[in-house]
Amino acid sequence: MPAALLRLDRQRIDRWLWHARIVRTRNAAAALAGSGHVRVNGTRIDAPGRPVRIGDVVTVALQRTVRVLRIKGFAERRGSAATTGRLYEELG
């Protein structure tokens, strides 16, 4: 297992969105989660500090698309685009 991946049981949604490269900045991730454009397991969230766990399904409404992702892991820091495939599985 690469050092950048962690064996955590949960992580804040804003950190996970940023580490998974769904958004460009952590502030953008916090704003996205805080504005209600993110759902976790079908429930709309409005707080960037909401914890997510491995196996959770995250639905993100972006400007021109909706992404549905299943969380597969967490990272200690934001890595390259090649490592993001280890963090989630694209469902739709």
The average confidence (pLDDT) of the chain is: 90
Give me the architecture of the 5-83 domain, per CATH: Roll (3.10)
Dihedral sign of CA atoms 67, 13, 84, 22 in order: positive
> Residue 73: how many CA atoms within 13 Å on its side-chain side?
17
Nearest in space to 84 (alpha carbons), one of 33, 39, 17: 17
pLDDT tens digits along 48-77:
999 999 999 999 999 899 999 999 999 888
The model scores a pTM over 0.85: yes
Domain boundaries, the chain: 5-83
Q: Using the structure block, give the residue that is written with the tokens 């297992």.
A: 1
How big is the chain by its Cα radius of gyration, in Å?
12
Q: Using the structure block, give the residue that is written with the tokens 């429930």.
A: 43
Q: Which pLDDT belongs to residue 1?
A: 45
The DSSP letter of residue 8 is -
